[in-house]
Amino acid sequence: MQRKLILGNWKMHGSTESNAALLAAIRERMSRENTNVDVGVCVPAIFVEQARSALQGSAVAWGVQDVSAHVQGAFTGEISAAMVAGFQATFAIVGHSERRANHGETALVVGEKARQALVAGLVPVVCVGETLAEREAGATDAVVRAQLAAVLEAISVDDAKKIVVAYEPVWAIGTGRSASVDEAQATHAGLRSVLREYDAGLDKLRILYGGSIKPDNASALLDCDGIDGGLIGGASLKSADFISIIEAAASLHADDSLHVG
């Protein structure tokens, strides 16, 4: 079993005061024994400097939830991957369903964002996932395969070896209704086969599951060979919940072949 990656996605939550306590608690947990797990937090971009100063020198990585598809220029309000990399960030989530749905991000734009993240030396966490209507229409596999393929087409094979994939069914995000282990494993297997078909060297990429992971379902979801970690939204905002998910991952037997961050 691969070493798991537990990533927090804070979304648009936090304040300088509440972040300080949360970051300190995560840092403290990862300074103890049994850290057989990789951990990171993807914070609102305005808090990247706070994350950097609270976490540098620790076993916890930091990153953002989006980057621009452009290198630089007249793009008011956008933040480039290179700017983020200047704060020693590791991760950039790209293609989260909330950005696809609320900001009209197409598969092409998501591919370009992943490419820009890689150029800047960030690890893109490429999110894919189907809506409830797509699942009910039996289109889950086709939808997530197409979303992943669009990113692979935008980047080189060598760069593809550096990405993390996150399967996040839209109907499971923030709803309290997680995918079952069987549902997640089946979709992960489809994504794994897209990666393998693209290049045999992508066999070891991490595919995270995200969507209502909580302390009470984390062990069951993470204790699966095909599920290489979790992207955690709501439960990453409470230190006790996030740390309990870290504990669930750390307690699994894993080799450390893929240390990121």
Nearer to ligand PGA, 199 or 261 (CB): 261
Active site residues: 96, 168
Tell me the sheet residues that pair with 165.
126, 207
Instruction: State yes or no: residue 232 binds ligand PGA (CB under 6 A).
Output: yes
Q: Which of residues 121-180 bind ligand PGA (CB under 6 A)?
A: 168, 173-174
Closest residue to ligand PGA using C-beta atoms = 233
One of 50, 147, 212, 217 touching ligand PGA (CB under 6 A): 212
- Asked if residues 178 and 168 have their Cβ atoms less than 8 Å apart, the reply is no
Helices (H), 32-104: 48-55, 81-85, 97-102
Q: Which region, judged by CB under 6 A, interacts with ligand PGA, from 28-36, 80-88, 155-163, 231-239?
A: 231-239
Phi/psi at 166 (5° precision): -130, 120
Instruction: State yes or no: residue 95 binds ligand PGA (CB under 6 A).
Output: no
For residues 93 and 154, give the distance between their C-alpha atoms in angstroms, rounded to a whole number: 16
Report the nearest approach of ligand PGA to the CB of residue 73 (Å). 29
Return the C-alpha torsion angle 153, 179, 91, 113, nearest 10.
30
Nearer to ligand PGA, 51 or 235 (CB): 235
- Asked if residues 12 and 235 have their Cβ atoms less than 8 Å apart, the reply is no
Instruction: State yes or no: residue 213 binds ligand PGA (CB under 6 A).
Output: yes
Helices (H) and strands (E) in the chain, counts: 11, 8
- Asked if residues 97 and 168 have their Cβ atoms less than 8 Å apart, the reply is yes
One of 95, 210, 226, 229 touching ligand PGA (CB under 6 A): 210
Nearer to ligand PGA, 3 or 11 (CB): 11
One of 2, 5, 6, 9 touching ligand PGA (CB under 6 A): 9
Residue 7: helix, strand or coil by DSSP? strand
List of residues contacting ligand PGA (CB under 6 A) = 9, 168, 173-174, 210-213, 231-235
